[in-house]
Chains A and B, each alone.
Chain A
Amino acid sequence: MTKWGMVIDLDKCTGCQACTTACAMENNTLPGENWQDVLYYSEGTYPTAKLTWLPRPCMQCENPSCVAVCPTKATYKDMDAGGIVFVDWNKCIGCKYCMIACPYGVRFYADEKPVVEPDIRDVFPGEGQLHAPPYQGPESDSVRGIGIQPKGVVSKCTFCYHKVSKAPEGVADLDEDNPDTKEYTPACVRTCPPKARYFGDLDNPESEVNRLIADQRGVRLKDHTGNRPQVYYLGSGADVPAYQSPKKT
């Protein structure tokens, strides 16, 4: 069975946020509600400071703690959809327990104070949905949390399931350079200028993602939580430094 996975090569990633922007446009998320974000870190002090960054989508975990805690099964892992974790907007009661339980901080309760002003929900007010921007992706599917979310529910990255699901059966990789699969490649992967992102089937031994993970020792973030992400990182910098209070530095 297909198990969709992503590989992000941090040695190639320039931290340009093209992925973040592409994701926001593809999925009509609110400004600041970044299903995909790039986080920046600095360690040390001038002149030996180090700046690192980390692109971070939903990890579509193999053992997703967000699924286990959800009291309504609104959050579920769909093995038939390549193991993508979805939020059923018709079932979510907005208890936000999944946001507490996700170790990666990639879930959003968009019915809250605007992260970025002006509040786009007032600029394009929506009926039944949080906002109604002039362009809306045509493929909404509230059972999978795709489209513009309604009030009072949680949303997250879907690995662009509306694209990925149309890929030819049995394909090992979804690659923006391959004309046959380009259209089905997740927006963040397709748009990444230095090609730091790869997307493919982790269950297919032929896939590029598997080769990269094996050859370049792909690692997963916060593996100690047992969530076992389906997103792997390559290169130096996957060592996210522990939180340190600014008071101490």
Chain B
Amino acid sequence: MNKGNILQGPMGLMLMVVSAIVALAAFGYAFLDLQSAGHRSFNTTSQIPWGQPIATYLYFALASSGLGMIAALSLVFGFKQFLPIAKRAIYLSVVILLAGMAVLAMELGHVFRMLWVIPLNMQIHSAMFWMGVFYVADLIFLLWKFQKMEGQEWDSKTSKQIGIASFLAVLLASGNLALVFGMMSMRPFWFDGLMPIYFYLTAVASGLAAVVFFTYLAYGFNRNAMPERTRVMFEGPMGKLFAAVLGATVLFILVRAYTGFYTNTPEVNVVWREFLFASPVYQASLWLGIVAPFVVMLIAGLRSNPSLQVLVSMAVFAGLFAERYFFVVGGQVVPLFRGTWEWGLIQYTPSLTEWTLTIMGSAMLFALYAAGERFLNLSDMPAEPATPEGAVAAA
């Protein structure tokens, strides 16, 4: 146990209990609404069938994948500097995925039916079928990997193999999730063979935001309370990795926007011009949530500043959440046929119940995370390997 971790004390208990209460209350509210009014409590329509709950699911699922990839840095690719966050990243990856699945479950018309119809019908043509398969595989490997870590099995052959399998599952799951959108030729705003690359990048960006924020949270936002190796990681490589990933994200958004503004295709051009860039919320989330954090992380003097790291992680949380929202809704705002009684863009603003689901997922994440810090040693890492010099000296 490490003393600096405030979540192992009363603070953690409080966070866990309060978040659990919020999650349950939000669930209760949404559940009752869905029971009594059905999806009338959502503001989605047959023209915009996928709204904020899907965006929330997408955000959580990708943040989970991002965390899996971050864990792979040390566990699969041997970047030992990132070992101090590996276990926490894996745990977060699990709970954030569970939170996302919970939100998705509330969005579906028939969630329990899914459990038998999908396996019984094996519709292998459907990207959504594979989404289910890959995310379940992902979850199993993550849990398995975590169990190995709990058993202090960091370096065994099986543990390594599970790490590799887990990494592959993460790639398949999030890449395939990208294709759920990217293969829709009738939705040109999404139709893009490179969508998986965009999802990988932004997944890692949101995963980084999560692991940075939650690690700081565990230590009461006091970097000096962190174990030595964790602190060193946050002082050095973490900021650089964050800068690189945000830079690539900015570049990707820029290229997509540039093409969007240039093309004549209304489903792409109008979406960028009149839906994304016309929205102050989108503008704010882009400039303050992605570009500004990138600039901060780019400047060597700033990127290791603890307060700025926390701020950047929070900004990126918000920025990428908005990205997901505008991405999901943006693919649908231009009517498939202009004449569908819709002359302008199709209007959609999430309802209270839809917001409640977002809150439910987030609170669930906080509660499970606090429980993890309390009952499982998420700061655990293998003992520092003996240096070659040390080995020579001992010989």
Q: Residues of A with Cβ closer than 8 Å to B?
A: 33, 37, 39-41, 53-54, 56, 65, 67-74, 91-97, 99-105, 107-115, 119, 151-154, 222, 225-226, 240-247
Contacts and interface: CB of A to CB of B under 8 A. Distances in A.
Nearest to B269: A245
Contact of B180 (A41, A97, A110, A243): A97
Contacts of A95: 108-109, 128
B343 interface: yes
A95 B383 CA distance: 47
Nearest to A73: B121
Chain B contact residues, majority secondary structure = loop
Contacts of B128: 69-71, 95, 97
Contacts of A112: 38-40, 42, 44-46
Contact of A102 (B114, B180, B186): B186
Given A91-B117, A92-B109, A109 B339 contact: no
Size class of the contact patch on chain B: 35 or more
B50 A100 contact: yes
Please list the 8 inter-chain residue pairs (A to B) with the smallest Cβ-Cβ separation, ordered nearest first: A94-B109, A152-B109, A39-B339, A103-B186, A105-B336, A96-B49, A73-B121, A71-B128
A245 B344 contact: yes
Contacts of A153: 109-110
B337 A68 contact: no
B106 to A, nearest CB: 11
Nearest to B338: A243
A244 B123 contact: no
Contact of A93 (B40, B114, B274, B336): B114
Contacts of B126: 68-71, 97
B39 A111 contact: yes
Given A54-B339, A115-B45, 7 more contacts: A69-B126, A71-B132, A93-B109, A105-B337, A109-B44, A113-B40, A243-B335
Chain A contact residues, majority secondary structure = loop
A41 B338 contact: yes
B54 to A, nearest CB: 9
Nearest to B339: A39
Given A70-B123, A95-B109, A152-B39, A225 B186 contact: yes
A241 to B, nearest CB: 7
A111 B187 CA distance: 23
B217 interface: no
Contacts of B254: none
Contacts of B340: 37, 39, 105
Contacts of A67: 125
B108 A94 contact: yes
A151 B121 CA distance: 21
A176 B117 CA distance: 40
A97 B273 CA distance: 26
A165 to B, nearest CB: 24
Contacts of B180: 97
B146 to A, nearest CB: 28
Find the residue from B39, B49, B50 having the highest chain A CB count within 10 A.
B49
B157 interface: no
A99 B114 CA distance: 18
Contacts of B113: 72, 91, 93
Contacts of B197: none
A246 B347 CA distance: 14
A107 B334 CA distance: 16
Contacts of A104: 336-337
B327 interface: no
Given A71-B126, A111-B38, A39 B332 contact: no
Contacts of A222: 186
Contact of B118 (A69, A71, A105, A226): A71
Interface in B253-283: 266-267, 270, 273-274
A100 B40 contact: no
A108 B44 CA distance: 12
Find the residue from B266, B267, B274, B337 having the highest chain A CB count within 10 A.
B337
A16 to B, nearest CB: 16
Contact of A40 (B131, B334, B339): B339
A92 B110 contact: yes
Given A102-B186, A114-B40, A246-B343, A93 B50 contact: no
